[in-house]
A and B are shown apart, each in its own frame.
Chain A
Amino acid sequence: MSKIWLITRREYLTRLRNRTFLLSTFLFPLVIVLFIVGMVAIATQTHTRHRIAVIDANGYFKDYLKSDSTISFVFSPDLDTLNYESKGCSAVLIIPVLPEDKKTIYRLKYKKQLGLEGSGDLTNRVNEAITDHLIYEKTAVSRAQLDSIRRGSDIADFRSYEDMGTTAKASNQGASFFVAYMSGILIYILTFVYGAMVMRGVMEEKTNRIAEVVVSSVKPFQLMMGKITGIGAVGLTQFLLWIVLLVSLGIIAQGFIPASTWKDVQDMQHASAMGDASSVAKTSELAQRVYRIDNAINGANIPLTIFCFLFYFIGGYLFYSALFAAVGSAVNEDPQEAQSLMMPITLPVVFSFFIMTVAVQDPGGPLAVWASIIPFSSPIVMMARIPFGVPGTVAWWQLGLSMALLVLGFLGTTWLAGKIYRTGILMYGKKATWKTMWKWAFHK
């Protein structure tokens, strides 16, 4: 035990003293923030306004088809399918006479893709226009009345609550989605980053021929475990530093929010508790944002989420890093060899990532549930479900089973990796394949 401790300590301290550790600890959150800001910026930037020429044989679309910030419809008698481009339009919408008793096709013609087909945005607008026209035609509702109804119908606001038996807790789907997605991505990235670190460490020991010196003092298994725990401890330290960083950034950010805004936020919280949504709308935009973030933070079960994150980070790390260590021990000097041997390990991780993107959309679905229980994918997928609520979305038995299987799973991979590692670390020259590694594991 004390030998594993010595090895762990060396791995931990040499990495902590390394400049790259400091850099990555402080740069990673920055990169994440920039990434999110960039995504938002791109998402808002790309909404260019399309001018679409409309050739309408029915004559009524002019009154009902509504332009807004993304699409503006142009009606002009001199527009046709040949000259729409020279008149500054990016597409032309051709609507033939639409008889009520059969389906008729209307067409959009363009030179460059607008990306409007998939979104359903355009068809919704056309359908809405037809509906409005029919309401106007078939009922006694005037056009002004119809417009006033459309404008005034925005009086209901949606809020969901998680049923906790005797009490109910306000849930925030948007925040849950965000936390779930971020947790999943973070576990995914960390598994790769630290798994690769373990693999490189093992390869370094093998190619520098330190392994032979060290295994004459300690068992190969102790060397492997020491490395895994040492690098895992580095990961935890980094994670804790990120939390400290995040909390202090949060506190600093709070300092920049004016006191009056805080008062508004408190008022909103009070009003919201009383079930009065109208007062929310009256406050400033900044206050509303802070209110939403505040609400999201308070809505999530933070201690449980952090505990589970740590558990699944450690569990997933142990599960995969043992396999990465096995691959590192089998590789000679050729990094290409490492790439091909890593494939069977990286595949389930990447696959888990895709399941995770599905799981955040449907956290209660069978795919999400089973993938969050099977240890190969559970660290990433379970972390994408937990923010939606325990025991609501994730039943206690699922969480328990998933955790137990993950523990069994990493005991299994560690045992397997230990056997491969023991032989691989001293084997030079011969190119290893998964077949030979299998032999190392199960023969003697």
Chain B
Amino acid sequence: MNILEVNDVQKTFATQVAVDKVSFRLDQGSIFGLLGPNGAGKTTLIRMITGIFYPDAGTIHFEGRPFDAANDILRIGYMPEERGLYKKMKIGEQALYLAQLKGLSRHEATQKVRYWFNKFEMQNWWNKKVEDLSKGMSQKLQFVTTVLHEPRLIILDEPFSGLDPVNSNLIKDEIYDLARKGSSIIFSTHRMEQVEEICDHIILMNKGQKILDGSVSGVKQQFKENLFQVGLENAEPAENGAAPRSEAFAVVGEKDGQLVVKIDPGHRPNDVLSYFIQRGTGITSFMEILPSLNDIFIRLVEGTPLARQFQKV
């Protein structure tokens, strides 16, 4: 079931089209990566999904119904990239306040805050003030206040920035856990290795438009360059005299002491293997090289003016 369906949404600010006819779907329980360079229109898109902005054109459906900001907003948890808390307010009270703004009663809110504070070992923070917290600590508090009302859709914009590896893993595990329990997660970041690790599905935006949409493995397949890494038995490939020559492939380099070959169109990986087998060369490994999302990202975005007129709209 689709928890969120965005159809051709568009938003224009003054002279600039911030989001230009973007569509995508989000399955229940999936982790969705929303990628793009600065100023691509991600924040504007998120603000339309969270009801902060109305789209100029296009529709948004939440749980199969047209998006109704007043009610559906209570079932969404949003952790913006630029996030803050009331510095002078006590942490416990602050969490309660934000939970109540999400429609929980004071009683419910208290229970949920206690549950999450226990889980993250934050019990003795209750009466501290936000200004006494480190960046990582306030990040954890932000995460708790984003998810404690058990939203159906969770939007996390750079959730790991400022977190040490231990706390990053803690949050990551919670994200998996929330997805397993049926929440859908939109994850916006520049950190491609995190996207590869966490996300099921991604879209890439640039200059307000969606330029890529698919599963992580699907996208990698789509952008693969038929590169393979071949490990050969005897000695270093470079000392093998002349590089192997075949009409089926060309050697394009080497990596970790192994050959990197590019298979020409119309040929199969088997042709590479049979080439070496026919020559009696022992093969120790054979592996396809798929592009990293980072490579794909840079390839797609490169050459376009990244610095748009303004970053945040």
Interface residues of chain A, those whose CB is within 8 Å of chain B, are 3, 6-7, 10, 14, 204, 208-210, 212-218, 220, 426-430, 439
- A residues within 8 A CB of B85? 208, 210, 213
Q: Mark out the residues of chain B between 105 and 126 whose CB falls within 8 Å of any chain A CB in the assembled complex.
A: none
Contact B97 A216 (CB under 8 A): no
A/B pair count, beta carbons within 8 Å: 64
Say if the beta carbon of B147 comes within 8 Å of chain A.
no
| Size of the chain B interface, CB-CB below 8 angstroms | 29
- A residues within 8 A CB of B78? 213, 216
Interface residues of chain B, those whose CB is within 8 Å of chain A, are 14, 47, 50-52, 73-74, 76, 78-80, 82-89, 97-98, 100-102, 142, 145, 310-312
Contact B80 A217 (CB under 8 A): no
Nearest A residue to B130 by beta-carbon distance?
A208
Nearest B residue to A218 by beta-carbon distance?
B101
Given A208-B85, A426-B47, are A216 and B80 neighbors across the interface (CB < 8 Å)?
yes
Contact A429 B311 (CB under 8 A): yes
Interface centre among A208, A209, A217 (most CB of B within 10 A): A217
- A residues within 8 A CB of B52? 215-216, 220, 426
Q: How far is the CB of B249 from chain A (nearest CB, A)?
A: 51
Contact B50 A216 (CB under 8 A): yes
Contact B102 A217 (CB under 8 A): yes
Nearest B residue to A13 by beta-carbon distance?
B93
Nearest B residue to A3 by beta-carbon distance?
B101
Q: How far is the CB of A224 from chain B (nearest CB, A)?
A: 14
Q: How far is the CB of A202 from chain B (nearest CB, A)?
A: 13
User: A214 is contacted by which of B79, B101, B310, B312 (Cβ under 8 Å)?
Assistant: B101
- A residues within 8 A CB of B310? 429-430
Q: How far is the CB of A220 from chain B (nearest CB, A)?
A: 8
Q: How far is the CB of B304 from chain A (nearest CB, A)?
A: 22
- A residues within 8 A CB of B74? 217
* Interface pairs (16), CB distance under 8 Å: A6-B100, A6-B101, A14-B86, A208-B86, A210-B83, A212-B80, A213-B85, A216-B52, A216-B76, A217-B73, A217-B98, A426-B47, A426-B52, A427-B312, A428-B312, A439-B14
Q: Which 7 A-B residue pairings sit nearest by Cβ, starting from the closest?
A: A209-B84, A208-B84, A216-B78, A217-B101, A209-B82, A212-B80, A210-B84
User: A209 is contacted by which of B51, B83, B100, B145 (Cβ under 8 Å)?
Assistant: B83
- A residues within 8 A CB of B79? 213
Interface centre among A208, A210, A213, A220 (most CB of B within 10 A): A213
CA distance A14 to B88 in the complex (A): 9
Contact B97 A213 (CB under 8 A): no
Contact A209 B80 (CB under 8 A): yes
CA distance A220 to B14 in the complex (A): 21
Q: How far is the CB of A150 from chain B (nearest CB, A)?
A: 69
- A residues within 8 A CB of B100? 6
CA distance A427 to B43 in the complex (A): 12
Q: How far is the CB of B131 from chain A (nearest CB, A)?
A: 10
Q: How far is the CB of B104 from chain A (nearest CB, A)?
A: 11
Contact A212 B101 (CB under 8 A): no
Contact A208 B87 (CB under 8 A): yes
Q: How far is the CB of A152 from chain B (nearest CB, A)?
A: 70
Interface centre among B79, B86, B102 (most CB of A within 10 A): B86
Nearest A residue to B101 by beta-carbon distance?
A217
Known contacts A212-B84, A216-B52, A217-B74; 18 further A-B pairs (Cβ under 8 A): A14-B88, A14-B89, A208-B84, A210-B85, A210-B86, A212-B83, A213-B84, A214-B98, A214-B101, A216-B78, A217-B73, A217-B98, A218-B101, A220-B52, A426-B312, A427-B312, A428-B82, A428-B312
Q: How far is the CB of A20 from chain B (nearest CB, A)?
A: 11
